[in-house]
Each structure stands twice: as structure tokens, then as C-alpha cells.
């Protein structure tokens, strides 16, 4: 009887130990799995966000034209921020409806006062625009349309956005809501560059003509210029032999360094160019 009791107790102890070991393995492996899953999810999310950002940068308008009350066309630009990006982010907050055929006259719409025109370098489709602007209704359109220009009002009556194909002069329109015209007016006012232009339809495209000369803002760059002695000491100095030979030839100074004069630095003073040759790395057959 005692033997049976001891045997049962021993089996219980073994079962408890095995249970504890298995529980420990399950807990530790689960934590590793969760960490791995979290890492993979974070990496994929970062890659997706980066790809979406690059995608949105590619499909930005290349021209932003403000048409005033007296129908003057002004090409506007902001040197401080990307006006196209700011407009894209603002339009993401709008709610676009289905795009339908419009009966608006092409010439009248192009010259419509108090409007803003976003011109694209090439065709862009409604579905693609919907993806850029995160507009699900446009992305799910049954019939996709290609356009090269977007026009909408800049006054308080902004309720419709027009998509225009400058080649065929076809127009589609979409009702919009959740619009704050004051945001558009603020961006236009903040633009620090504006020049008067004329737009004419030639050879299937809407061409831009400048009425006056345009002055571009100069940009300065810092060039780090170093004395040639810096390169001589860095490229030709050798721990065993620091002597450097010099030769002058037709506006060029040639420096030889290294144990066997196998390093050569040529300084072209006329072109401000350097040429370095290291013959110690040459492999002989």
C-alpha cells in the first residue's frame, strides 16, 4: 500500500514539473512570437507610409493659377512651402461626390473669375486622384476619366470641383462638402510669387504665355574650399617616407609621394580640379 502511495505521489510530482516546464516554454515562445509580429507589423506599416508619401509627391500639380475678379490669370508660387502639397492636404479634408459629365463651356470655365486652377503636366485619372486625396467615392468610380486640370471657386460658394481634359475639352464635375474656403484664400494670400499670364488653347493643349519678364530668386550655396596642401598630406603622406616631389607643367602642379613615388596628385590651377592616381593598388598579371 505504501509503495502505491509513493508511486502515485511520484507521478503527481513529475506531472507538476512537466506542467511547469511546458507552461514556461509556452509563455516565453509566445512573447517572442508577439515581439516578432509587432516588429514585422511596424516595419510593414512604415514601408506602406513611406510608399504612400512618395506616391502622393509624384502626382502633384505643376501649375497653380489664380484667376481674379477681373479675369486676370496669375501664376502663383510659394518659396517657403510647397503650395501644391498644402493644397493637396487641404483637399483631403473635403468630401467628393461622384464625378458626372458637365455642361459647362470650356472657354468660359477657363476664364471664370475667382477660381483656382491646378494644372498637371500629364493626364491623371479620377481614380488616381481619389487615391492621392484619400477619396473613396472617386476611387470606386465605375467609369474612370482622364483629366489635366482641376478648377474650383475661391469664394464662399465653393460647392463644385471641375475636372477638365484640355485636349478634348471634356469636363466632369463633382459636388464637394466639408469645404473651408478660408483655407484656400489663406494659401493664395501666403504665396510670395505671382506673375500675370495668358492661356491659349493651341495644338490640343492649353499653353501658358507670360506677359512680362520673370525674375527668379537667386539661391546661394556654400562651397567648402580647401588648400591643396590638405590633400597632399592626406593622399601622399607615407609612414615610411613623407617626402614629396613636385613638378610644374603648363598650369598644372604634379606631386609624387609614397615609398616608390607611386602616388600622384595633379592640381590643375586653371580649372580648379584635382586628379589622384594610386599605383599601389594596381594588380599585375
Q: Which domain covers residue 110, as residue numbers? A: 60-210
In a domain, 37, yes or no: no
The pTM of the whole model exceeds 0.95: no
In a domain, 11, yes or no: no
- Residue 129's closest CA among 141, 139, 114? 139
DSSP string, 26-69: HHHHHHHHHHHHHHHHHHHHHHHHHHHHHHHHHS--SEEEEE-T
The answer to whether residues 122 and 262 belong to one domain is no
What is the full per-residue pLDDT of the chain (285 aa) written as tens digits?
A: 555 666 667 777 777 778 777 776 676 655 544 444 454 444 444 444 445 556 666 789 999 999 999 999 999 999 888 899 999 999 999 999 999 999 999 999 999 999 999 999 889 999 999 999 999 999 988 889 999 999 999 988 899 999 999 999 999 999 999 999 999 999 999 998 999 999 988 887 889 999 888 877 776 666 666 777 888 777 877 666 667 888 888 889 988 887 777 888 898 888 888 888 887 765 444
The answer to whether residues 133 and 257 belong to one domain is no
In a domain, 115, yes or no: yes
The answer to whether residues 186 and 242 belong to one domain is no
Residue after which a domain boundary falls, among 180, 210, 240: 210
In a domain, 147, yes or no: yes
Amino acid at each position: 500500500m505504501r509503495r502505491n502511495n509513493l508511486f502515485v505521489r511520484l507521478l503527481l510530482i513529475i506531472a507538476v514539473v512537466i506542467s511547469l516546464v511546458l507552461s514556461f516554454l509556452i509563455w516565453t515562445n509566445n512573447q517572442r512570437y508577439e515581439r516578432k509580429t509587432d516588429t514585422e507589423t511596424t516595419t510593414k506599416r512604415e514601408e506602406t507610409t513611406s510608399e504612400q508619401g512618395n506616391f502622393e509627391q509624384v502626382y502633384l500639380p505643376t501649375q497653380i493659377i489664380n484667376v481674379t475678379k477681373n479675369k486676370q490669370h496669375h501664376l502663383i508660387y510659394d518659396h517657403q512651402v510647397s503650395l501644391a502639397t498644402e493644397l493637396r492636404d487641404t483637399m483631403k479634408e473635403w468630401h467628393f461626390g461622384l464625378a458626372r459629365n458637365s455642361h459647362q463651356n470650356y472657354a468660359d470655365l477657363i476664364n471664370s473669375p475667382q477660381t483656382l486652377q491646378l494644372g498637371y503636366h500629364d493626364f491623371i485619372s479620377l481614380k488616381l486622384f481619389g487615391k492621392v486625396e484619400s477619396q473613396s467615392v472617386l476611387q470606386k468610380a465605375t467609369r474612370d476619366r482622364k483629366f489635366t486640370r482641376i478648377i474650383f471657386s475661391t469664394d464662399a460658394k465653393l460647392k463644385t470641383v471641375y475636372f477638365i481634359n484640355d485636349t478634348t475639352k471634356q469636363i466632369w464635375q463633382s459636388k464637394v462638402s466639408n469645404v473651408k474656403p478660408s483655407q484656400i484664400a489663406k494659401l493664395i494670400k501666403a504665396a510670395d510669387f505671382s506673375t500675370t499670364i495668358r492661356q491659349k488653347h493651341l495644338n490640343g493643349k492649353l499653353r501658358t504665355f507670360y506677359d512680362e519678364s520673370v525674375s527668379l530668386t537667386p539661391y546661394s550655396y556654400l562651397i567648402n574650399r580647401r588648400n591643396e596642401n590638405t590633400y597632399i598630406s592626406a593622399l601622399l603622406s607615407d609612414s615610411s617616407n613623407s617626402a614629396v616631389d613636385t613638378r610644374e607643367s603648363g598650369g598644372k602642379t604634379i606631386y609624387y609621394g609614397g615609398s616608390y613615388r607611386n602616388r600622384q596628385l595633379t592640381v590643375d590651377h586653371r580649372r580648379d580640379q584635382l586628379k589622384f592616381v594610386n599605383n599601389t593598388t594596381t594588380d599585375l598579371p
